[in-house]
Amino acid sequence: MRIVMMGTGTFAEPTFEALIAARENVVGLVTQPDRDTGRKGGSTRQTGKGMAAIAEDAAVPVIQPESINTPDGLAALKALAPDLLVVAAYGQILKPEVLAVPPLGAINVHASLLPKFRGASPVAAAILANEHVTGVTIIRITPGLDAGDMLAKESLEIHPDETTGELEARLAVIGARLALDTVQRLKAGPVTGEPQDESAVSRAPKLKKEQGLLDWSRPASEIARVVRAMQPWPTAYTFFHRPGKEPMRVIISKVRKLGVIEGLPPEPSAAGLILAFEPPRIVVQAHSGSSSIEVLELQPAGKKKMTAEEFLRGYPVQDGYRFGPEKLD
């Protein structure tokens, strides 16, 4: 069986490596163009070893079209003459013309328990939704977004303080094992999948940078989930407000939710107020006084990531200083 791997970033790498290690007949890799920070093209996914580097080490031909759905991309794929496409976090929707190239079609390694969280950011969506369990589903790719029959599925418990990047790394290992097993089953003969329950579908669209802006008027538990879900991209952020100075953008990378602090002002306008600022702690009011957040790690614009204690040494806080949107009401 001639296999073409399609994927980009750290979630795809274990699957690609597993196929190579198992000596499957991987005849090509399709991956997105290398990221160019000055252009909109290319991939924004996190990279480890790099898919192209893995392919080079294994002498697997690589193609990196801007879109696999263009005539040039389609021609390059046809030249590889695949029997099956194995897709993991490729980042482009495959048109019917692409899916028609391999006789056995295409399978996708999706990081959720479908039909939950169809779309580009299923791991972050699971954390944001306060799920305690997620998983990986191998599906047969159809023209509908993540709508194909399920060929394999395995669940995984989400750790309480786990970020999207950390959870995705664990899911990637499961996905690699399930993908390899599915490939071997397909080699042995036809595989029947289980249809998805359309009544249980939920969506996980691609994350946007503005989703990382923290709303301190929300409950502390929700703010903590946003911080975890936005790591490693697009990151959670806020603005540091000091009288007489311009608001400073600050990335918030690690927090801990706290309970109610007696004596907090109940007004919604107090959300984001920095309540405690004696080293080594920064405590911020959330949700109109019903809860609070301890900021553990943060990164001022143009600076390196630092602990709360390091931040307070460089940016002393006084009564009335606060975090919030760039423009306060």
- Mean pLDDT score, 139-165: 97
Reported as a single tens digit per residue, the pLDDT across 49-85 is: 899 999 999 999 999 999 999 999 999 999 999 999 9
In terms of domains, do 59 and 142 share one? yes
In terms of domains, do 45 and 151 share one? yes
In terms of domains, do 158 and 18 share one? yes
In terms of domains, do 229 and 169 share one? no
Do 221 and 257 meet the contact criterion of CB atoms below 8 Å apart?
yes
Start-to-end C-alpha separation, the chain: 62
- State how far the Cα of 63 lies from the Cα of 256, in Å rounded to an integer: 44
For position 82, what pLDDT does the model report? Answer: 98
CATH number at residue 97: 3.40.50.170
SS3 for 172? Answer: helix
Is it true that the peptide bond before 14 is cis, omega within 30 degrees of 0? Answer: no
For position 19, what pLDDT does the model report? Answer: 98
- Mean pLDDT score, 224-242: 97
- Rounded percentage of the chain residues whose pLDDT exceeds 70: 92
In terms of domains, do 41 and 143 share one? yes
Strand 106-110 relative to strand 84-88, pairing: parallel
In terms of domains, do 8 and 90 share one? yes
For position 268, what pLDDT does the model report? Answer: 58
CATH number at residue 249: 3.10.25.10
| pLDDT higher than 60, residue 145 | yes
- Mean pLDDT score, 204-230: 96
In terms of domains, do 171 and 307 share one? no
Assigned domain for 316 exists: yes
Assigned domain for 270 exists: yes
Token digits of residue 320: 């009335």
Phi-psi region of 218 (alpha: psi -120 to 50; beta: other; left: phi over 0): beta
Chain-wide mean pLDDT for the chain? 93
| pLDDT higher than 50, residue 134 | yes
For position 290, what pLDDT does the model report? Answer: 65
In order of 127, 202, 319, 323, the CA distances from 215 in angstroms are 17, 24, 20, 9
Do 1 and 183 meet the contact criterion of CB atoms below 8 Å apart?
yes
Assigned domain for 329 exists: no
Of 179, 200, 221, the domain-final residue = 200
Q: How many CB atoms lie within 10 A of CB 243?
A: 7
Task: Indicate the DSSP class of residue 288.
Answer: G
In terms of domains, do 227 and 164 share one? no
To which residue do tokens 């600076």 refer?
A: 303
pTM of the model: 0.93
- State how far the Cα of 115 lies from the Cα of 202, in Å rounded to an integer: 7
Of 272, 275, 110, which Cα lies nearest the Cα of 203?
Answer: 110
Reported as a single tens digit per residue, the pLDDT across 268-306 is: 568 999 998 888 999 999 986 568 999 999 999 999 999
In terms of domains, do 226 and 123 share one? no
- Rounded percentage of the chain residues whose pLDDT exceeds 90: 86
In terms of domains, do 43 and 159 share one? yes
Task: Considering only residues 38 and 168, tell me which one the structure prediction assigns the higher pLDDT.
Answer: 168
Do 105 and 84 meet the contact criterion of CB atoms below 8 Å apart?
yes
- State how far the Cα of 233 lies from the Cα of 150, in Å rounded to an integer: 28
In terms of domains, do 61 and 18 share one? yes
SS3 for 159? Answer: coil
CA angle in degrees (0–180, nearest 5) for 158-280-127: 15
Amino acid in the structure at residue 277? F
Reported as a single tens digit per residue, the pLDDT across 2-48 is: 999 999 999 999 999 999 999 999 999 999 998 654 344 444 456 67
Assigned domain for 230 exists: yes
Token digits of residue 85: 């496409």
Of 166, 200, 234, the domain-final residue = 200
Into how many domains does the chain fold? 2
Domain span at residue 141? 3-200
Task: Considering only residues 262 and 159, tell me which one the structure prediction assigns the higher pLDDT.
Answer: 159
